[in-house]
Amino acid sequence: MARGGLLAAHLITECFSASPYPTAQALKRVRHPTSSPFFSASPPQQAQEIKGTRERWRRAQARRALSLWWPSGVRGWQRQQDGQQASARSQRPHLASHSRLGQARRAQPPSPPPPPPPRPPFSRLFLLSAGGRRLPLDLCAHWASPIASITAAASSSSAAAAAASSSSPFSSNFSTISSSRGAAAAAMPEKRPFERLPTEVRPINYGLCLKPDLIDFTFEGKLEAAVEVKQATNQIVMNCADIDIITASYAPEGDEEIHATGFNYQNEDEKVTLSFPSTLQKGMGTLKIDFVGELNDKMKGFYRSKYITPSGDTRFAAVTQFEATDARRAFPCWDEPAIKATFDISLVVPKDRVGLSNMNITDRMPYPDDENLVEVKFARTPVMSTYLVAFVVGEYDFVETRTTDGVLIRVYTPVGKAEQGKFALEVAAKTLPFYKDYFNVPYPLPKIDLIAIADFAAGAMENWGLVTYRETALLIDPKNSCSSSRQWVALVVGHELAHQWFGNLVTMEWWTHLWLNEGFASWIEYLCVDHCFPEYDIWTQFVSADYTRAQELDALDNSHPIEDFRKGMHLYLTKFQHKNASTEDLWESLEDASGKPIAAVMNTWTKQMGFPLVYIEGEQQEDNKVLKVVQKKFCASGPYSGEDCPLWMIPITICTSDDPTHAKMQVLMDKPELTLVLKDVKPEQWIKLNLGTVGFYRTQYSPDMLEGLLPAIRDLSLLPVDRLGLQNDLFSLARAGIISTVEVLKVMEAFVNEPNYTVWSDLSCNLGILSTLLSHTDFYEEIQAFIRDIFSPIGEKLGWDPRPGEGHLDALLRGLVLGKLGKAGHKATLEEARRRFKDHVEGKHILSADLRSSVYVTVLKHGDSITLDTMLKLHKQADMQEEKNRIERVLGAISQPELIQKVLTFALSEEVRPQDTVSVIGGVAGGSKQGRKAAWKFVRDNWEELYNRYQGGFLISRLIKLSVDGFAIDKMASEVKAFFESHPAPSAERTIQQCCENILLNAAWLKRDAENVHQYLLQRKASPTAV
């Protein structure tokens, strides 16, 4: 499959808008261990983000403290004349003054908070990748939406974004606030066009010193940047957000310092303009800025992360998350990916804390103004983008090793949990040399740290040399972590380390080329895990977890030998190392390596939206099979009916029952219809299109050809990946109304002998979607009986306990099957789950980690208040975040209304980390019909708190999607739309549109097929030959 060819690009445009900025965490993957990706950054158009009452009070207090130093006020002081500033500069606060700032703030009594201003708008381009990890988006109902999930769809996304924004039914409802910092909100009639930073001044090197205060949650900073004035100007425009600049000056090389006479904050654009009294001439110089900021609790920029020490104390770490546009919240900078520079970073930290940054430590010395502090200095970085800068201050243990070429690898864990970092260390130690050999380009830094962060919105972030992770994406307890968690950690580590080359060494020129980072990493993580753990059969899982869910493209895998591909990657990385690249640069490198017209083929996929449906029918002519192959655009709402149908260049591969593992014919389809002749094919032989399910298209077979494939499913002669792809195509066709859902159910019955975990996982997912749909009917129990019948044979075969010789995939399959049977009410499974749960709670026999989710969800689904209380107690006692998350994800299975409310209240409690609240609420929405209604009401009732908590990041989009996507009633689409018209969520605008569309599609699906499905299930139930 993808092992032999071009990269499988992964790019999902979650939200098109007029802004070319993506949301920060949406550039990363966020997916829970059994599904996908997610990141919270601000676009240029975003106005000052809403702060909670406590945050507004703190900033007001900081301003009061500053006014103690300058009676005329900070802004007034900034406007002083050059001569006055020169005098004031000699008295400007040094970093040591941070303690005075805190004391002054503490001395001030709290003031009544001002009324919150209208929520600010921000149009964002959401980009999902396998690294963030992946958001667990079920995109099956959105095939017709403008989702560019192919290699370089971002190439044309600016125009698409503008079109999507202008056509949005919600866009006119968003108001904006004025650009004056602290001013009252004022509605603006329309958004101003986005402008990138001026080009007159560019950074060469940032000298940056930061001093975080982990008690008052503020920080002080000093920036001394070597810059080049490329064109004479009297202004310097930089990105800046949530930062107060105290002083600023510019000194031309070999000349006197010129002090800035004013700072004009453009909050809406997250910029600041430094004005100077005289013209800055072309040439090199030094820009100095002193500033203060807040360690926020929004999981973006420079923020605080709460953790519990082994002794039970609550403490905070200072950590960063800058991708895409949040470096500007830590220091004034040129926060665009193409504006690269080197960095000399130092941190002033408590002497009992660890201080980390991108590079290795060169010095750790006492801080002269406070004996309790030390200054940690780091080596100069390579040329890099601001979004890849990182620093962490906190308490950590670590395990370490070195590669054969001397690169130091460390995994940092919470104190006392170093043992849990060993698995990730093993993966990293195998991965770095593998990538070095594969790309024939060495890792360019002397060290790489992987660190677990308690409060972290994304799954992980590939900061160069200091990769940050959620605890559940990095830590593995040898005794208590399940097999799926091990696999998840391996994939995330492989993904983030791939970024050290793709993204860090070579960076996209602008966010529209983000797939060059994320698409490649989303594919090569599987190559890496296959290298490290071949027993995972990860390539089959790739088709299920990535290809069919996110519609990734690997269409040319069978067209280019791996040697050409690797050569092309080497050319690309060496030519553009420490630089920026575009999609066209990659095509050029691959063409140079292969001599093939890569761009001509790929442009049909990257320059137009959507993907094709390929219809195939056959006619026997003597010993040959004559095939008619037709391509049309695939649409979620039914057969494409447009006049000008897009045309793709489709790599067509065909295999037969003679040799299911090799293509009997390969052809590049470059026209709407083809007639192909397969020679020496007998009438009884089956024919399969899209060998290995690597072509990025849906396949529809004629009835007789589909019937011929059923025996190949039963006797397993079709490859697992082709069995998976066949049923997944059929399910998507049914959702789109192209075929009947009954036809899909009949095919599903052929999988009764299926042994493959990934095939079962995909079947389980699709049956779960159908089950949710039919929860709107009065025959919900019939579909549960169907699920019990389908899963019972494999459940009986597997049993509850592992047998000698079983491996990783057997453990995954057992947990999947038993959980599915338990939720569906399989009597024997329910009884055994209750027995084992009781023994687990009483300490008689601890459940294996691989069975806990299955047992937990089963007993909760059919449990009572005692069951829920017991589960919440287990959650409170759990020391491992993996166990806490495991419990949080299944709490929504409880079905009694009063207990559902208890779970929802728990979701917003201090017991649940902020980034995990969404999973709890989403679990309730997906757990039952009653839960879906309760979760949506809960979101509406608590919208202000939830919106303020996530500040427009990707988690708010995920919350909305999980809360409403299961509805299948037309009026709910109107209700959802109306709510968000009166409660705007600009960053989730596209998600809201997709959810409304999905609700309507579900409603149409239900109306179209519900009765036929009901009759089929009744007939099947009455039939003695039912499975």
Interatomic CA distance for residues 413 and 426, integer angstroms: 15
**What is the edge-to-edge ordering of all strands in the sheet holding 201-213?**
258-259, 243-252, 283-294, 218-229, 201-213, 342-350, 373-378, 361-366
Contacts for 176 with CB less than 8 Å, ≥ 6 apart? 45, 47, 120, 121, 187, 188, 191, 268
Q: Give the amino acid at 855.
A: V
Contacts for 857 with CB less than 8 Å, ≥ 6 apart? 819, 822, 823, 890, 893
Interatomic CA distance for residues 23 and 38, integer angstroms: 10
- Tally of CA atoms within 13 A in the half-sphere of 389 that contains its CB: 37
Q: Which residue has the tokens 């966020």?
A: 30
- Tally of CA atoms within 13 A in the half-sphere of 220 that contains its CB: 20
| Structure tokens given for 614 | 């390929």
Interatomic CA distance for residues 555 and 567, integer angstroms: 19
Cβ atoms of 38 and 955 closer than 8 Å: yes
SS3 (DSSP) at 808: helix
Q: Which residue has the tokens 């890569």?
A: 598
Find the catalytic residue in 496, 525, 552, 588.
496
Q: Which residue has the tokens 């099956």?
A: 140
The pair phi, psi for residue 208, each rounded to 5°, is -130, 125
Interatomic CA distance for residues 788 and 791, integer angstroms: 5
- Is 496 a known active-site residue? yes
**DSSP state, residue 340:** -
| Structure tokens given for 481 | 């972590």
Interatomic CA distance for residues 247 and 236, integer angstroms: 14
SS3 (DSSP) at 1020: helix
SS3 (DSSP) at 902: helix
| Structure tokens given for 932 | 């879906």
Q: At what angle do helices 741-748 and 703-714 cross, to 10 degrees?
A: 30
Contacts for 786 with CB less than 8 Å, ≥ 6 apart? 745, 767, 1017, 1020
Q: Which residue has the tokens 């338990």?
A: 822
Interatomic CA distance for residues 228 and 289, integer angstroms: 16
User: Which residue in 570, 529, 694, 550 sits closest to 139, CA to CA?
Assistant: 550
Beta bridge partners of 223: 208, 289
Query: What beta strand segments (E) does 444-548 contain?
Result: 447-453, 460-461, 466-470, 506-508
To 5 degrees, how large is the angle CA 926–CA 929–CA 935?
60
Dmax (CA) of the chain: 99
User: Which residue in 278, 267, 295, 239 sits closest to 81, CA to CA?
Assistant: 278
Contacts for 800 with CB less than 8 Å, ≥ 6 apart? 814, 818, 832, 836, 851
Q: Give the amino acid at 310.
A: P
| Structure tokens given for 450 | 């992987």
Contacts for 483 with CB less than 8 Å, ≥ 6 apart? 808, 811, 812, 815, 849, 850
Interatomic CA distance for residues 188 and 178, integer angstroms: 8
Residue 827's alpha-carbon distances to 227, 768, 1027, in angstroms, are 72, 19, 17
Interatomic CA distance for residues 450 and 676, integer angstroms: 53
Interatomic CA distance for residues 275 and 263, integer angstroms: 6
Residues designated catalytic: 496
